[in-house]
Structure 1
Amino acid sequence: MEAVTGSTCLPMAEDVVWIRVEEAAEAGRVRRAATTLAEKLAFPATRVAEIGVAVTEIATNLHKHAREGVVLVRSVRGGTHAAVEVLAVDGGPGITDVSLAFEDGQSTTGTLGVGLGAVVRLSDSCDMASRPGHGTVLAARFHARRGPVADLPEDVAAGITRAIGGEEVCGDAYAVRRAPGRLTMMMCDGSGHGPLAATASQAAVRLFCELDPTAPEDVVARIHRELRGTRGGAVAVADVDLVARTVRYAGLGNIAGAVLGDGQKRGMISVPGVAGYQARTIRAFDYPLPDDATVVMHSDGLTERWAVERGDTILTSTPLVVAGALLRDAGVRKDDACVLVGKAS
């Protein structure tokens, strides 16, 4: 891999809180979490109020019309700007006509329904995907001031993390390096759970962002050395060449990687080992990148037994929505979970 100029790990996201919306009162908790985050990010009072209105609509409609609804509130930081993002996921009956659901006054059992028009107007970006019988995923982003922000573009990659029940921090972490014509994705699953696992995975993130761009197998080897003295963990790096249309992938341990395209899921190979402890061989493998490709990486908090179908509309959604759907459908294990999605189309 040649050195890449203009490479950066910004913007970076921080998942603040997951809130399960089972009671009407939880809508207020979601609103407070989002507005408190906006205040911490120094958003103007009028913008904080607008975020409160939009997020209340999202959470209220989850409670009224969906099942197993959960909301993630998080921050996204660029070089000088920040945004509040809200991801709503449910396992309800789904929406047959997503475009109709965004129109004011529409409310159908199983949809987010009334208020979605307001969410679209008040947010800086909003995307939703739904499949009848599977549920709905909605993502909305709010800038401090309405309008596009140069260092917070619509992202070609997004990840989410969720801690195992009973833990405040997730032991899984990820980072993405962006450069013209190239996307490099890294994930680390710190061994175990809690703060010590998070210490290992965050060390991997720091090193990945500090290193000059190099081959994935070299990055994994460097992280392996860096994690000595920590709990260690599983780590993988995918270098997505958008010009040559290839993915070079190196994994150590049980990080799962896959290329989705042409209606197929093609798994990528990680070799056995534990970064920081044992790595007999670190190898990289090359895979073709179809024109409509999506690259997915996830920790073992998700089962690998998920599939895609040709024509599945979820893959046309933004990376954050795709990540939310995968976590809902495959995140069935009692473990820390992390999903990272890159769009290569």
Structure 2
Amino acid sequence: MASLPEGLLDGGVWFRVEEPGTASAVRRAAERLAAELDMPERRIADLSIVAAEAAGNLTKHADQGTILVRVVRIADQAGVELIAVDSGPGMADIGHAIGDGHSTAGTLGIGLGAILRQASRWDLHSVPGKGTVLSVQVWPDVVPEAGWAAGLTRPLHGETVSGDAYAVREIDGRRQLLLSDGLGHGGLAAAASQEAVRGFLRAPAVPPAQVVEVLHRTLGHTRGAALAVAEPDPSAGVVRYAGLGNISGMVLAPDGTRRGMVSMPGIAGHQRRQIREYDYAFAPGAILVMHTDGLVDRWNLADYPGLVTRTPEVIAATLLRDAGTRRDDAGVLVARVP
């Protein structure tokens, strides 16, 4: 449960929540993580309620429920985030379900109101017949502004670490994102992607193609990775993008159209013919999605009414649930910049 070195994004731990005992394990893990972060006792108590209720509701009402417990960070403080995902019947009336005392089989039901009262920030999306995604954050003190980007990774079934990793940074007026897929899976793949994250966070404030060039040199001592760097620039109305290998990137326009972005063939650290950067239109309200080949491309946000208005965390978790494959590490990164 130890967190990654400061500056790296904490991947967290996924729990499959099927038995009542798992709910207790989720609560203990969240409490332990908060204690490691030196959160105040009163906020640890609030987090304990959130974790117990969220996991308990999955046990009682949901199908194929999972919860991610992880650290969320800003420059001067850290909190704990839980993302609860299920494939149950979903909720047609979220507002009604939030009220205490409401309990309908297949919904989060009783306890949802309690969860939201204790949370510093939350978001929720549910579609009847597809399931529910709930994101809850508990911060120690002042609640920071909502993040403009969020990602999720999940290891191959049977592995304890994921070879996929991501990072987000703001440097000298540039907002940039990295998604990396270490070659293969397991510890060596994870080491390659974590080296890519470290290199990305240390790289100078240069355009995406130059950052990818830096990472290509950085990963020479690892098994290598497919990776891509994106730089949304709303003031210019574009997103700049450069990649090596099979990272999928796309811009989802406010009108629902989807535009794929190009990565060049190669493996960062080992093989590359050239690194090229492309600009794509990025209008107000557009969403940037990047994912590894652990997610299939056959998804359509039109199947999820209202999802485009939700937070990046909830969008990413929904895509991971329905497009992710258990036969590979999976990683997805979502950004929305005003």
TM-score between both structures, scaled by the size of structure 2: 0.94
Q: Does 1:301 align with 2:315?
A: no
For 1:77 and 1:67, how far apart are their aligned partners in 2?
A: 30
Matched residue of 1:341: which SS? strand
Q: How does 1:21-60 map to 2 (within 5 A)?
A: 21-60=17-56
- Hey, what does 1:85 align to over in structure 2? 81
For 1:214 and 1:192, how far apart are their aligned partners in 2?
A: 29
For 1:182 and 1:109, how far apart are their aligned partners in 2?
A: 47
- The answer on whether the counterparts of 1:11 and 1:78 sit within 8 Å (CA) in structure 2 is no
Which one of 146, 153, 163 corresponds to residue 154 of structure 1? 146
- The answer on whether the counterparts of 2:90 and 2:106 sit within 8 Å (CA) in structure 1 is yes
CA deviation after TM superposition for structure 1 residue 16, in Å = 2.2
Residues 66-119 of structure 1: per-residue CA shift (max 9 Å, x gap): 101000000012222110000000011111011221111111222111111111
Matched residue of 2:325: which SS? coil
Which one of 234, 240, 262 corresponds to residue 269 of structure 1? 262
Residues 11-69 of structure 1: per-residue CA shift (max 9 Å, x gap): 75312210001112111111111111111111122221221111111111111111010
Residues 333, 303 of structure 1: alpha-carbon distance in 2 compared, 3 angstrom cutoff:
farther
User: What one-letter code is carried by the residue in structure 2 that aligns with 1:245?
Assistant: G
Residues 315-339 of structure 1: per-residue CA shift (max 9 Å, x gap): 1111111110010010024111111
Q: How does 1:1-345 map to 2 (within 5 A)?
A: 13-145=9-141, 147-148=142-143, 152-178=144-170, 182-261=174-253, 262-309=255-302, 312-345=305-338
For 1:341 and 1:277, how far apart are their aligned partners in 2?
A: 27
The structure 1 segments of at least 4 consecutive aligned residues displaced by more than 3 Å after TM superposition are: 10-13, 179-182
CA deviation after TM superposition for structure 1 residue 166, in Å = 2.1
User: What one-letter code is carried by the residue in structure 2 that aligns with 1:155?
Assistant: G
For 2:42 and 2:131, how far apart are their aligned partners in 1?
A: 33
For 1:264 and 1:311, how far apart are their aligned partners in 2?
A: 14
For 2:176 and 2:107, how far apart are their aligned partners in 1?
A: 36
Residues 311, 55 of structure 1: alpha-carbon distance in 2 compared, 3 angstrom cutoff:
closer
Matched residue of 1:173: which SS? strand
- The answer on whether the counterparts of 1:300 and 1:337 sit within 8 Å (CA) in structure 2 is yes
Unaligned runs of 5+ in 1: 1-9
Residues 13, 319 of structure 1: alpha-carbon distance in 2 compared, 3 angstrom cutoff:
same
For 2:7 and 2:107, how far apart are their aligned partners in 1?
A: 31
Residues 243, 309 of structure 1: alpha-carbon distance in 2 compared, 3 angstrom cutoff:
same
- The answer on whether the counterparts of 1:258 and 1:265 sit within 8 Å (CA) in structure 2 is yes
Residues 332, 310 of structure 1: alpha-carbon distance in 2 compared, 3 angstrom cutoff:
closer
CA deviation after TM superposition for structure 1 residue 194, in Å = 1.6
TM-score between both structures, scaled by the size of structure 1: 0.92
Residues 179-232 of structure 1: per-residue CA shift (max 9 Å, x gap): 587531111111111221111111111111111211111111111111112100
Tell me the percent identity: 50
For 1:202 and 1:126, how far apart are their aligned partners in 2?
A: 28
User: What one-letter code is carried by the residue in structure 1 that aligns with 2:203?
Assistant: L
For 1:29 and 1:264, how far apart are their aligned partners in 2?
A: 42
- The answer on whether the counterparts of 1:181 and 1:241 sit within 8 Å (CA) in structure 2 is no
Residues 114-150 of structure 1: per-residue CA shift (max 9 Å, x gap): 11111111010011001111110000000123x42xx
Q: CA RMSD in A?
A: 1.7
Matched residue of 2:129: which SS? coil
For 1:264 and 1:63, how far apart are their aligned partners in 2?
A: 37
Matched residue of 1:244: which SS? coil
Residues 247-289 of structure 1: per-residue CA shift (max 9 Å, x gap): 1111100111011112122111111111111100111111101
Aligned residues: 332
For 2:283 and 2:79, how far apart are their aligned partners in 1?
A: 32
